[in-house]
Amino acid sequence: MASDPGAGMPAPGEGPRPSILVIRQGAFGDLVQADGALRDIRAHHPGAQISLLVAPQFRRLMDRCPHVDELIVDVRAPWLRIGDNLDLLRELRGRRFARVYDLQDSQRTRLYRRLMSPGLQWHGKDNPGSSAVPDRSAYARLLARAGVVATHTDAPDVGWMADDVSALLAASGVEPGYVALVPGSSARHPHKRWPHFAGLARRLVDGGRQVVVAPGPDELDLARTLPCKVLLGPTGFLDWFALAGVLANAAFVVGNDTGPTHLAACLGTPGLALFGPHTSAQRTGIRMRAFDAIEAAELERLPVDEVMRQVATKIAL
């Protein structure tokens, strides 16, 4: 008799490992926030082959994730590229998955559900973008419906991402106790950028703290205007794993609503995220453990004094 995919490891002689698909294609911050759900799925299916459907730009990142066995890349080709979409669908159908956890819940993944094998156990996230519910809470509901105990879902811990950056910090003259700033965001979202990080950096330095920033390609020019140490690697920008190491070792992080700030929260580093009216901190789930947020009706009018007051309640200056 075939084993129940919810039961994990099949008994000896009962056939191959059950095959489980998890869908979370991106973005970076969303994948980081999904760590706890992936951990709980892994614990519920200890003997299963767990595949993660992910966007190609996150393949290297998620290849390190200890909760999945393999990655299937979904380029999310335009629908008119029929051949590419049919190739992916044939691959998904050919895997004969016993169960699917759809943490993405998009129009595309709902179409995949209709086109994959009939009778497939499909557990989808139900959390529209207009909802104020954090995705982590929606994951917990999804897992409960599937009979999975959500022990870690609300407390992601991506320590597996952090490289040892002691040599990088030493070479840059950075000592323990530094504050890391995340002053940028994707160039597509300039409205997420608080424009007063230079003033904040000066206040922190005056208070005796070293300040560092590890910019991405969209943020280098901005980072160089700040009175702080700009951390780059020997071949250019830090990769995700070195960035995680820098954030994990910081005494505090202040950043915009962007992927590295969510990464810091999921590493357990104390910090503060700055939000304008584009979304709510509640919806993003950024508040966890020692991480908090300030929300402002007009982000550009949020004063440095207010941010400093919040920082000073968390660390000595």
Give the model's pLDDT for residue 215: 94
Q: Do domains 5-155 and 160-312 have the same CATH topology?
A: yes
Give this prediction's pTM: 0.90
Structure confidence by residue, pLDDT tens digits, 115-136? 998 889 999 998 887 788 999 9
Of 33, 10, 25, 174, nearest to 98 by C-alpha is 10
For 292, residues 6+ apart whose C-beta sits below 8 A from its C-beta are: 271, 272, 273, 310, 314
Mean pLDDT within 18-30: 95
Q: What is the pLDDT of residue 117?
A: 82
Listed by start position, the domains of the chain span 5-155, 160-312
Neighbours of 77 (CB within 10 A): 15
Q: Which CATH superfamily is domain 160-312 in?
A: Glycogen Phosphorylase B; (3.40.50.2000)
pLDDT, residue 143, reads 98
Q: Which of 3-12, 235-244, 247-256 has the highest mean pLDDT?
A: 247-256
Rounded Cα–Cα distance for residues 202 and 221 (Å): 18
Residue range 5-155, CATH number: 3.40.50.2000
Q: What is the mean pLDDT of the chain?
A: 93
